[in-house]
Chain A
């Protein structure tokens, strides 16, 4: 595991993308195939099955370090990462080892059926053979999650460099439901026929936010526009008489949205559609809040199926009659999609997401202003001639979102962040005024600069009124402008509302407490946009 640990450390020790890619490519050049396969898996969120609970790991680590468990637990939020907390707390190792990454993963997998004493002995024994850096990597294998500033795109690029393959083709090969247990490095990367599994999705084409006026895009006739829906991006695959639904995060969601099974009754085999899964009231999407109830549920109770039925709002056709259409221009793909869907009845679970006609950018701006009335969060603008790219590529797809809603609120609670933000107060609760009271209505974690977070952290330390575990009640003094994408009624919240994507837009140094917005203001926004 030395080579893999060195790779991890090298990546961790630089902020430069080129250096990271170089380190990865060098690793792919020299590592054995089994280790390469696991490395690809780990850097594409395919972690080995957890065989030991994190609760046990905490207990064993504290015991080995000779500290009470509570002290370990207090240290964890400050470090911000469990694997790291364990690595830092354990006493120095007394031995070393030469086992490979794959060998250690095999050892851990064998623990799946072992009794607790064996598990504990194996883990303590492993810790005692590893230095701090290696322990961190090992603990990451135990706890899952390998976020080290290596995006999947970067990993794919390095693999492309090391193997001489085309990056986009490689990205496609790496999609889908393979695991190191079900394939080999050769079959996954090198074999001529990638043995395309029926369920394998295409890499999603991703858009950039439009940061300037659309006039900069040039001639309007060269572009197409659609609503930008607030749902779940999904890819519907109909192949071999089966259907599969993938999320953008490559979760297989087929069983979560059983309504989409009926797509097989309406569409031919060999079809792959890109679109947005939305809860549907028969004529328009329901607010995201309704869809949210269905996220995270593997099986859906009948009532929910009735209250929040989903459909796929289709906006792209990636495969037709088994043919990959991605290289064709968007206008062509879109015309085929409309032909395919045009004859379907309204009861079909797949609808076409309409194109929004426009002659001038001014026309389009008027449409954008009506996005909220159409239950959309803005517009997508796509180049008529553009292919369907693998991943995020600037130039052909743009999202032109509405400006967020905003409200000025008072900070009342603060909590320290995790990971990169450990040691700073970054998680805040905000309130609106109601008579002489302050009513909490949202939390927010992002939007301030590092310098502002440091400034507010110093202030929180000096202005804590009361502590509730890790949460500090602070003097109500600072007003922040909170931006959010949507609002809906929520009986679970004290204020009666829940916000979508709340964040701190601005620290309103200029506003005294009594100029913060009120609960009435908040309810007015709810009445208008909820």
Chain B
């Protein structure tokens, strides 16, 4: 096998490396900087050049080698290259070729383009290890433009009523994607420290984001009437957000497609937006790889594998410790 499933994670015997391992290993290829994929404690890391600054920020002083998208590395007997996954800036699929047999590990991916990421590229392979966080037919996403219009309309109405707009988003990826869609003409955009730290890194890489104001203890909310405040979901529920009153609360996630989840969070508004592929995105991506063997990892793996088998693939679910898009802190 080109890749194997070991207790530490996905392993390549020919190159003696792991992909997004969840226990410390010698050499780790990392698809992207989210905490369930880029973990601490490995001896050596390899990731894309675009993903590197965030990883350094999160993991500190690590031994990190970088490659550009499409650049080929020989590691032992394996030819390895990273390809755009469209999930967050710098996110990659890992292509591993050993003796002519090609496997691809998708990492987290989104097939539709946005304003920040290098767009997803299908990679032909024999075996495809795919995430399926939203691998059910009930998960289909509206267009980014529609969701953006919905969020801006909500913000505009709140601002007109003298209400703050508290928008929850994971600090790496979703927050910046939302920023790129907000209409800065409505009112000021304020950010929580965790979001602002990531903003600074991405801006430093030359990614254009609208102006934001960092919420510090000294900041006077009254000086920014009608502002939209972008913060990690955890901060919205706590003391931090109380300074902004009155406020309407919103959250952007693929899970907001489900009314039950929206109600459980006791949010005023849920906006359907995910950095993961929806049902049709997953199915198209799998078809485009031309792969025969499909290994669904995190998500509704059993159901999705059964569906793929009926569609003529050879699919087998693989348990992993990736969390996909969660409702919680920055695991995604």
Residue positions of A touching B, CB distance < 8 A: 12-16, 65, 67-68, 70-72, 74-75, 78-81, 84-85, 88-89, 136, 149, 418-424, 450, 454, 462
The stretch of B105-113, B197-205, B251-259 that contacts the partner chain: B251-259
CB pair B137–A80 under 8 Å, yes or no, is no
**What's the count of A-B pairs with C-beta under 8 Å?**
70
CB pair A13–B259 under 8 Å, yes or no, is no
Closest chain B residue, CB of each to CB of A13:
B269
Q: Mark B187-230, 1 if CB is under 8 A from A, else 0.
A: 00000000000000000000000000000000000000000000
13 A-B residue pairings within 8 Å (CB atoms):
A14-B268, A16-B268, A65-B137, A70-B306, A72-B137, A74-B303, A78-B258, A79-B258, A84-B260, A422-B260, A422-B261, A423-B260, A454-B328
Bound form: Cα–Cα A72–B266 in Å? 27
Given contacts A15-B268, A80-B258, A423-B258, contact A67 B138 (CB under 8 A): no
- Closest approach, in angstroms, between the C-beta of B320 and any C-beta of chain A? 11
CB pair B310–A12 under 8 Å, yes or no, is no
- Closest approach, in angstroms, between the C-beta of A421 and any C-beta of chain B? 7
Closest chain B residue, CB of each to CB of A84:
B259
Residue B5, interface by CB 8 Å = no
Q: Mark B242-271, 1 if CB is under 8 A from A, else 0.
A: 000000000000010111110110111100
Most buried by A among B136, B266, B328: B136
Bound form: Cα–Cα A16–B245 in Å? 14
Residue B240, interface by CB 8 Å = no
- Closest approach, in angstroms, between the C-beta of A10 and any C-beta of chain B? 11
CB pair A67–B260 under 8 Å, yes or no, is no
Bound form: Cα–Cα A35–B184 in Å? 41
Closest chain B residue, CB of each to CB of A467:
B302
CB pair A418–B137 under 8 Å, yes or no, is no
CB pair A89–B258 under 8 Å, yes or no, is no
Q: Which residues of chain A come closer than 8 Å to B307, judged between CB atoms?
A: 68, 71
Q: Mark B112-145, 1 if CB is under 8 A from A, else 0.
A: 0000000000000000000000001111100000
- Closest approach, in angstroms, between the C-beta of B313 and any C-beta of chain A? 15
CB pair A71–B303 under 8 Å, yes or no, is yes
- Closest approach, in angstroms, between the C-beta of B75 and any C-beta of chain A? 31
Q: A420's contact among B136, B257, B260, B300, by CB below 8 Å, is which?
A: B260
CB pair A81–B259 under 8 Å, yes or no, is yes
Q: Report, nearest first, the 4 A-B pairs whose CB atoms are least far apart.
A: A88-B138, A422-B260, A80-B260, A419-B260
Q: B137's contact among A89, A136, A419, A450, by CB below 8 Å, is which?
A: A89
CB pair A67–B266 under 8 Å, yes or no, is no
- Closest approach, in angstroms, between the C-beta of A70 and any C-beta of chain B? 8
CB pair A420–B138 under 8 Å, yes or no, is no
Q: B138's contact among A75, A419, A424, by CB below 8 Å, is which?
A: A75
- Closest approach, in angstroms, between the C-beta of A9 and any C-beta of chain B? 11
Q: Which residues of chain B come closer than 8 Å to A70, judged between CB atoms?
A: 306
Bound form: Cα–Cα A143–B24 in Å? 52
Q: Which residues of chain A come closer than 8 Å to B255, judged between CB atoms?
A: 423
- Closest approach, in angstroms, between the C-beta of A145 and any C-beta of chain B? 13
Q: Which residues of chain A come closer than 8 Å to B138, judged between CB atoms?
A: 75, 78-79, 85, 88-89
CB pair B259–A12 under 8 Å, yes or no, is yes
Q: Which residues of chain B come closer than 8 Å to A418, judged between CB atoms?
A: 260
Contact-residue size bin, chain B (C-beta under 8 Å from the other chain): 20 to 34
Q: Which residues of chain B come closer than 8 Å to A13, judged between CB atoms?
A: 268-269
- Closest approach, in angstroms, between the C-beta of B116 and any C-beta of chain A? 27
CB pair A15–B267 under 8 Å, yes or no, is yes
Q: Which residues of chain B come closer than 8 Å to A149, judged between CB atoms?
A: 263
Bound form: Cα–Cα A65–B139 in Å? 13
Bound form: Cα–Cα A14–B246 in Å? 14
Q: A75's contact among B137, B263, B267, B306, by CB below 8 Å, is which?
A: B137
Bound form: Cα–Cα A183–B268 in Å? 36
Bound form: Cα–Cα A422–B139 in Å? 14
Bound form: Cα–Cα A15–B307 in Å? 37
- Closest approach, in angstroms, between the C-beta of B22 and any C-beta of chain A? 11
- Closest approach, in angstroms, between the C-beta of A244 and any C-beta of chain B? 36
- Closest approach, in angstroms, between the C-beta of B165 and any C-beta of chain A? 14
Bound form: Cα–Cα A18–B257 in Å? 25
CB pair B260–A79 under 8 Å, yes or no, is yes
Q: Which residues of chain B come closer than 8 Å to A68, judged between CB atoms?
A: 307, 310
Closest chain B residue, CB of each to CB of A83:
B259
- Closest approach, in angstroms, between the C-beta of A475 and any C-beta of chain B? 15
Most buried by B among A12, A13, A149, A421: A13
- Closest approach, in angstroms, between the C-beta of A59 and any C-beta of chain B? 15
- Closest approach, in angstroms, between the C-beta of A453 and any C-beta of chain B? 9
Q: Which residues of chain A come closer than 8 Å to B306, judged between CB atoms?
A: 70-71
- Closest approach, in angstroms, between the C-beta of B117 and any C-beta of chain A? 26
- Closest approach, in angstroms, between the C-beta of A8 and any C-beta of chain B? 11
Q: B266's contact among A15, A80, A419, by CB below 8 Å, is which?
A: A15
Give the residues from 285 to 328 in chain B that come closer than 8 angstroms, CB to CB, to chain A.
300, 303, 306-307, 310, 321, 327-328
11 additional A-B pairs beyond A13-B268, A67-B137, A74-B300, beta carbons within 8 Å, are A15-B268, A71-B306, A71-B307, A80-B260, A81-B260, A84-B258, A84-B260, A149-B263, A420-B260, A420-B264, A422-B260
Q: Which residues of chain A come closer than 8 Å to B259, judged between CB atoms?
A: 12, 81, 84, 136
Most buried by A among B137, B257, B267, B307: B137
Q: Which residues of chain B come closer than 8 Å to A79, judged between CB atoms?
A: 138, 258, 260
- Closest approach, in angstroms, between the C-beta of A81 and any C-beta of chain B? 7
Q: Which residues of chain A come closer than 8 Å to B137, judged between CB atoms?
A: 65, 67, 71-72, 75, 88-89
Closest chain A residue, CB of each to CB of B246:
A16
Q: A78's contact among B300, B327, B328, by CB below 8 Å, is which?
A: B300
- Closest approach, in angstroms, between the C-beta of B138 and any C-beta of chain A? 4
CB pair B264–A421 under 8 Å, yes or no, is yes
- Closest approach, in angstroms, between the C-beta of B151 and any C-beta of chain A? 13
Bound form: Cα–Cα A68–B137 in Å? 11
Q: Which residues of chain B come closer than 8 Å to A454, judged between CB atoms?
A: 327-328
Closest chain A residue, CB of each to CB of B266:
A15
Closest chain A residue, CB of each to CB of B269:
A13
Q: Which residues of chain A come closer than 8 Å to B136, judged between CB atoms?
A: 71, 74-75, 78
Q: Which residues of chain B come closer than 8 Å to A424, judged between CB atoms?
A: 264
Bound form: Cα–Cα A377–B130 in Å? 55
Q: Which residues of chain A come closer than 8 Å to B310, judged between CB atoms?
A: 68
- Closest approach, in angstroms, between the C-beta of B257 and any C-beta of chain A? 7
Q: Which residues of chain B come closer than 8 Å to A71, judged between CB atoms?
A: 136-137, 303, 306-307
Q: Which residues of chain A come closer than 8 Å to B269, judged between CB atoms?
A: 13
